[in-house]
Structure 1
Amino acid sequence: MARMTLAEIKARSSTIDWTRVNATTDGDLDRQAKEDGTDVDLPGLAAPSPATVRRHLKLTQKDIAALAGVPVATWRNWEQGRVRLDPAVRTLLRVLWREPDAVRRVMVA
């Protein structure tokens, strides 16, 4: 594995087409979720991914983190798979998915 210094990384040109990224609509995200199989009804006790819940509720990471009562960095770590989701987090995701208004009533009170 080749290693690069921070200066080398910063000197590389970006391969990300930000115009295209910024032009992506919620409809595009919904279509892509259907195509990759992440937009499904949750049978039994399956837990949706944090990103799926957030997109389903049409919230920003900051807003969903506030609703869930966790720091934004924690939510980002969950979405990006940096940390393993423990059973309590999976339960929270199921409740947010199925009963977001109940969570709002409890967390805003």
Structure 2
Amino acid sequence: MTALDALTPNLIEQNAESDPDNPPLTNAELKRMQTARAVRAVRASRGMTQAAFAETYGIAVTRLRDWEQGRHVPDSMALAYLATIAHEPEAVARAFEKARAA
């Protein structure tokens, strides 16, 4: 039996919370991470690289990278756009291409 096996879940959590090198994440940090994963999941569901996704849907690739890496959180309009892409990707791509051609 190792020392770790002897620890209860509560003691493990207490030790983790008191570790100065690994402070708990704030609610804002957790939300930013969740949003980053959600943005990445929309792109991954299309099987596209960041560059291809950005080009197809008219998003600056640097902005997309910032969202996916949690450096910035998309505003409500961008989140709505990403949700629309998630549900109707082909329709959004066609609409964006028509708008770009006009």
Same fold, TM-score > 0.5, yes or no: yes
1:68 Cα shift?
A: 2.1
Unaligned runs of 5+ in 1: 1-37, 39-47
Greater percentage in helix? 2
Q: Which residue of 2 aligns with 1:51?
A: 40
Q: Which amino acid aligns with 2:38?
A: S
Q: Which residue of 2 aligns with 1:81?
A: 70
1:71 Cα shift?
A: 1.4
Partners of 1:67 and 1:103 within 8 A in 2: no
Q: Distance in 2 between matches of 1:59 and 1:106?
A: 18
Partners of 1:49 and 1:93 within 8 A in 2: no
Q: Match of 1:50, SS?
A: helix
Q: CA RMSD in A?
A: 1.6
1:98 Cα shift?
A: 0.2
Partners of 1:54 and 1:61 within 8 A in 2: yes
TM-score, with structure 1 as normaliser: 0.54
Q: Match of 1:81, SS?
A: coil
Q: Distance in 2 between matches of 1:75 and 1:59?
A: 12
Once the two structures are aligned, what percentage of the paired residues are identical? 32
TM-score, with structure 2 as normaliser: 0.57
Q: Match of 1:49, SS?
A: helix
Partners of 1:62 and 1:72 within 8 A in 2: yes
Q: Which residue of 1 aligns with 2:94?
A: 105
Please identify the structure whose Cα radius of gyration is greater: 2
Of 80, 86, 95, 1:91 maps to 80
Unaligned runs of 5+ in 2: 1-33
